[in-house]
């Protein structure tokens, strides 16, 4: 694989709090030539994370039969606040010891070659769904990534809307004034009910108060140290009452928040992705729509609900889309 | 005033549940040449309302020194669901006895001349603010019309966003799951706390439960039969405790709902208008921003809040803007 090919070859890095996913894509449709995945180092701070990104990107290039030096550009989706102009990751609460702004684009540029671009991880995943995934050809959409947190994206006239740079924070729409405390410190956010991290905290507190649940037992059996999407799915499958209750609470919050956004924006499509969203799949779409309906002003004319199409690779593909 | 003028002359009709406001505008900046106002007839159903609209439009034309037959077009903003293609007002819960769709554009066209266009009253008012009012030159905005109900509009890239035809319903964003019953029948909508009609209902119930308030006394003294914006203002001025409490409750709901919309859309400007909004003016903007802050994800970077600029005539000017 070499630059002699007419279509450009781009790298994509999806930097998450848990894992780093890299890919090498080819052509306008970003077909995937190679990929690699690593755990995000939880010790060593930004230098260790950067080393892992470099190694993981090189590994994906090798699996595509090329070298990072031959890529026409590398896009990076990062879990935090990006200064696009300076290519700096300003804040990243979900990355270990990421306490100060880091000029990630220039550091990675020195080690991987020029043309490194940063973007917000959720934004790039939404862009990937819009351009190459379940939102292709759609005029307006709302993307909801339901996972550890709840992220989102909105698109109008076929283009992702960034606002002043920070649009899409659907997880922090207020669904209950004075309600549950969110990981962001605020009260009543949708994510305080539907984010997997919040749900785990609530499950722990309820268990400590004497409610029965097998959630943490299942977690240990599966060798996990958090309640992953798979753990929740397993618990539901075994009719764990507390898990069912917390999922229903999450679905109600998603329903209220998404319906609020639809009342305001009247989009034609709502895309659902993220770890929990992808795990539960199609049947969950009906539950979310049922939870939206009591709040939809035009309940006889709801938007279409559809699963995100790019799954786990969406973030890395969207990162590669930053290069054009 | 005649068609020999190079710039076109348009009529605008703002049909409300309480009053009908008409204007005649001239030129691209829609400068107002004449205007008239009537109460919306509460008996006689659509025929009586249509008669009043025709008479009021003719009166505005006369006051502009012209005749309706000489207008280059007439736009009508209506309080309900519009089928733009057929020019029909489908549903209008706030108009007396408007129980079936009425092909308003063609009926008015026969009586006032061709070129009658319908639009939603809140949308046209938002468009007027965007094009000629406080939103001029702004890239993105959220307009909040705080009155009997709470209506809104969103604009991106300098253009009002209509979605599939029904965007802008900010009053029906959910601010409290399972919360107060809204006039629309749903629970927890922003309007259930901040709409003047809901606030009046709540004030009545609290008074019946034994809480003291001078609100209804002030209403009678001023010869009104509802708690108008002026009544609320007067009660606040006299430190009526119950009025203060209900206004604070409304402001908290506005703060949560608007902050939710800002978290999702990251607009640069929030415009506040409507009967209550205009009445309370600038000092209220600070209270609304203070209520937004605890819910704003980027609380160090809030949007600008500004009063709507066109006041009572905004709806009629926006209606005239339908003709282009």
Q: Which residue from B169, B256, B268 is facing A174, i.e. has the nearest CB? A: B256
**Domain annotation covers residue B279:** yes
Is residue A17 pLDDT above 90, yes or no? no
Count the neighbouring beta carbons within 10 Å of the beta carbon of residue B17: 18
Q: Are residues B69 and B213 in the same domain?
A: no
- Compute CA distances A311 → A30, A180, A273, B312, whole Å: 15, 30, 7, 51
**Domain annotation covers residue B93:** yes
3-class SS of residue A156: strand
Please, which pLDDT band fits residue B266 given cuts at 50, 70 and 90? very high
Tens digit of each residue's pLDDT (9 = 90 or more) over A236-266 = 999 999 999 999 999 999 999 999 999 999 9
Domain range holding B173? 137-308
**Domain annotation covers residue B4:** no
Q: Are residues B262 and B116 in the same domain?
A: no
Q: Are residues B155 and B282 in the same domain?
A: yes
Is residue B4 pLDDT above 50, yes or no? no
Where in B40-91 does DSSP place strands (E)?
A: 74-78, 81-83, 88-91
Tens digit of each residue's pLDDT (9 = 90 or more) over A205-226 = 999 999 999 999 999 999 999 9
Tens digit of each residue's pLDDT (9 = 90 or more) over B59-101 = 999 999 999 999 999 999 999 888 888 999 998 888 888 989 9
Q: What is the ipTM of this complex?
A: 0.94
> Nearest residue of B to residue A176 by CA position?
B176
In chain B, residues with a C-beta closer than 8 Å to the C-beta of A188 are 256, 295
Is residue B226 pLDDT above 80, yes or no? yes
Residues of A with CB under 8 A from a CB of B: 140, 152, 154, 156, 161-170, 172-177, 179, 184, 186-189, 252-253, 256-257, 259-261, 263-268, 294-295, 297-298, 301, 303
Burial B221-230 (b: 16+ CB within 10 A, else e): eeeeeebbbe
Q: Are residues B287 and B164 in the same domain?
A: yes
Q: Are residues A90 and A154 in the same domain?
A: no
Report the pLDDT value the prediction gives residue B29, as an integer from 0 to 100: 84
Tens digit of each residue's pLDDT (9 = 90 or more) over B249-260 = 999 999 999 999
Report the pLDDT value the prediction gives residue A27, as an integer from 0 to 100: 87
Report the pLDDT value the prediction gives residue B206, as an integer from 0 to 100: 98
Determine, for residues A257 and B174 on separate chains, whether the beta-carbon distance falls below 8 Å. yes
Place of tokens 């590398």: A74
Q: Are residues A194 and A51 in the same domain?
A: no
Tens digit of each residue's pLDDT (9 = 90 or more) over B163-174 = 999 999 999 999
**Domain annotation covers residue A131:** no
Is residue A318 pLDDT above 50, yes or no? yes
List the one residue out of B4, B95, B114 whose CA is nearest residue B46: B95
Report the pLDDT value the prediction gives residue A149, as an integer from 0 to 100: 93
Report the pLDDT value the prediction gives residue B5, as an integer from 0 to 100: 53
Place of tokens 């994800």: B297
**Domain annotation covers residue A78:** yes
Q: Are residues B142 and B283 in the same domain?
A: yes
Q: Strand A9-15 relative to strand A19-26: parallel, antiparallel, unpaired?
A: antiparallel
Dist. CA A232–CA A179, nearest whole Å? 23
Q: Are residues A108 and A144 in the same domain?
A: no
For residue A296, the 8-state DSSP code is -
What is the CA B296 to chain-centroid distance, rounded? 25
Lowest mean pLDDT among A9-23, A108-122, B79-93, B138-152: B79-93
- Compute CA distances A73 → A11, A53, A226, whole Å: 6, 15, 35
Is residue A1 pLDDT above 80, yes or no? no
In chain A, residues with a C-beta closer than 8 Å to the C-beta of B174 are 175, 256-257, 259-260, 295
Burial B68-92 (b: 16+ CB within 10 A, else e): beebbbbbbbbbbbbeeeebbbeeb
**Domain annotation covers residue B131:** no
Q: Are residues A150 and A199 in the same domain?
A: yes
Please, which pLDDT band fits residue B3 given cuts at 50, 70 and 90? very low
Region A70-75: what's the mean pLDDT? 96
In chain A, residues with a C-beta closer than 8 Å to the C-beta of B295 are 172, 174, 186, 188-189
Please, which pLDDT band fits residue A85 given cuts at 50, 70 and 90? confident
Region A185-197: what's the mean pLDDT? 97
Question: H helices of A104-195, where?
Answer: 104-112, 121-132, 191-194
Please, which pLDDT band fits residue A5 given cuts at 50, 70 and 90? low
List the one residue out of B70, B34, B25, B74 whose CA is nearest residue B54: B74
**Domain annotation covers residue B265:** yes
Q: Are residues A220 and A82 in the same domain?
A: no
Q: Are residues A178 and A121 in the same domain?
A: no
Report the pLDDT value the prediction gives residue A29, as an integer from 0 to 100: 84
In chain B, residues with a C-beta closer than 8 Å to the C-beta of A155 are none
Tens digit of each residue's pLDDT (9 = 90 or more) over B20-55 = 999 999 988 889 999 999 999 989 999 999 999 999
3-class SS of residue B247: helix
Phi/psi of residue A227, each to 5°? Answer: -80, 90
Do B29 and B49 form a contact (C-beta atoms < 8 A)?
no
**Domain annotation covers residue B253:** yes
Give kind and range of the element (H or E) at residue A279: helix A274-280
Count the neighbouring beta carbons within 10 Å of the beta carbon of residue A64: 22
Do B168 and B152 form a contact (C-beta atoms < 8 A)?
yes
Q: How many domains does chain B have?
A: 2
Q: Are residues A301 and A177 in the same domain?
A: yes
Tens digit of each residue's pLDDT (9 = 90 or more) over B181-199 = 999 999 999 999 999 999 9
In chain B, residues with a C-beta closer than 8 Å to the C-beta of A183 are none
Burial A104-126 (b: 16+ CB within 10 A, else e): bbebbbeebbebbbbbbbbbbbb
Arithmetic mean of pLDDT over chain B: 94
Token pair of A139 as six digits: 């005029």
- Residue A304, Ramachandran bin (φ over 0: left; ψ between -120 and 50: alpha; else beta): beta
Q: Strand B31-39 relative to strand A304-307: parallel, antiparallel, unpaired?
A: unpaired
Distance from CA of B185 to the nearest CA of A (A): 9
Query: Looking at residue B184, which CATH number applies to its domain?
Result: 3.30.420.40
Lowest mean pLDDT among A5-9, A184-188, B295-299: A5-9
């Amino acid at each position: 694989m070499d630059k002699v090919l007419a279509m450009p070859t781009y790298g994509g890095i999806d930097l998450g709090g848990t894992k780093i996913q890299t890919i090498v894509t080819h052509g306008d449709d970003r077909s995937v030539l190679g990929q690699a995945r690593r755990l995000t180092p939880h010790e060593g701070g930004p230098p260790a994370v950067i080393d892992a990104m470099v190694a993981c990107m090189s590994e994906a290039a090798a699996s595509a039969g090329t070298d990072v030096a031959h890529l026409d550009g590398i896009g990076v989706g990062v879990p935090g606040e990006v200064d696009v102009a300076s290519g700096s990751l300003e804040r990243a609460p979900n990355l270990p010891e990421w306490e100060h702004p880091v000029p990630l684009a220039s550091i990675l540029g020195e080690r991987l070659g020029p043309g490194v671009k940063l973007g917000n991880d959720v934004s790039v995943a939404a862009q990937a769904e819009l351009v190459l995934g379940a939102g292709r050809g759609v005029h307006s959409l709302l993307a909801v990534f339901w996972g550890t947190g709840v992220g989102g994206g909105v698109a109008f006239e076929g283009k992702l809307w960034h606002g002043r740079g920070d649009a899409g924070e659907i997880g922090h729409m207020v669904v209950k004034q004075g309600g549950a405390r969110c990981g962001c410190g605020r009260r009543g956010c949708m994510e305080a009910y539907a984010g997997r991290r919040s749900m785990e905290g609530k499950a722990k507190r309820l268990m400590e108060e004497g409610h029965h649940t097998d959630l943490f037992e299942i977690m240990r059996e599966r060798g996990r140290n958090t309640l992953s999407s798979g753990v929740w799915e397993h618990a539901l499958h075994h009719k764990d009452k507390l898990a069912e209750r917390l999922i229903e609470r999450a679905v109600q919050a998603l329903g209220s928040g998404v319906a609020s956004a639809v009342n305001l924006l009247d989009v034609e499509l709502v895309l659902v992705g993220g770890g929990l969203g992808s795990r539960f799949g199609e049947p969950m779409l009906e539950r979310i729509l049922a939870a939206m309906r009591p709040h939809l002003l035009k309940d006889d004319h709801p938007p279409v609900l559809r699963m995100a199409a790019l799954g786990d690779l969406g973030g890395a593909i969207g990162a590669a889309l930053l290069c054009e």
